[in-house]
Chains A and B, each alone.
Chain A
């Protein structure tokens, strides 16, 4: 066991606990906070994978923006479902079984991946280089320019659509 392996196992335990509490906690605010813990663990995993840019982006996007949005939405809809109400539906056993079957299915697929026991080769370039490459790839006509511009259209559509949907109905005259 090397130090890196121990760190990886520690982070994995945190992520899995966070994920399990997210799906099982009856209090939705707590579920959101556990989700944040799991997502922070994923950021640490990105650091281990030497994708430092994605690690900080994970924190900036998921922890600072998405999870806060989720908590706001929980607060806005808090009156609809109290903690006392059933949080899981009738077929939850079936759901657990399905999830377990998918998990074992994925595990059984691993035997077909030849590089499974690979350990990473050292990155040849400086870490600065990879961010520059990423930036160039995003605007290069031969590489990912289409996803880049499509993403901007997608974000624009999401923003317009979400504002359109989420605005309070006019007749109600404000719901503060």
Chain B
């Protein structure tokens, strides 16, 4: 049963190696004459001001968090969906109950204003 994975085990490294080859070719072909002006941070010609590490807003974390919870939810639901054809009605309803609980979480986030991008 490892057999279908062999293809993927080849394809994913190839997906890295092929672009890496292009970049390697670039190493051979392209000129390399770095100087401080060229390497300075690009901001359309302005001098950069202040620290690079600007304080990000906490909203990014909230979005990542809700995504994580829904991702896990999908993990639980995918086997349920695969087995769906063989399930009794009450088992399907249990899955729906699961979805509804999570939808309640989304509703809470919405009500609290956690989904607003301000």
Contact = CB atoms under 8 A, between A and B. Distances in A.
A–B proximity contact (CB within 8 A): yes
Interface stretch (B19-27, B30-38, B42-50, B72-80): B72-80
Contacts of B75: 57, 60-61
B79 A69 contact: no
Nearest to B94: A139
Contacts, number: 144
Interface stretch (A31-39, A96-104, A110-118, A148-156): A148-156
Contacts of B64: 65, 68-69, 72
28 contacts: A47-B2, A69-B61, A69-B68, A72-B61, A72-B64, A76-B56, A76-B60, A78-B53, A132-B79, A132-B82, A133-B83, A134-B79, A134-B83, A136-B83, A138-B79, A139-B83, A139-B92, A139-B95, A151-B76, A152-B102, A155-B102, A155-B105, A156-B102, A163-B108, A166-B61, A168-B58, A175-B57, A176-B57
Interface of B: 1-2, 5, 53, 55-58, 60-62, 64-69, 71-76, 78-84, 86-87, 91-92, 94-95, 97-98, 101-102, 104-105, 108-109, 112, 114, 118
Q: Which 3 A-B pairs have the closest CB atoms?
A: A135-B83, A135-B79, A139-B91
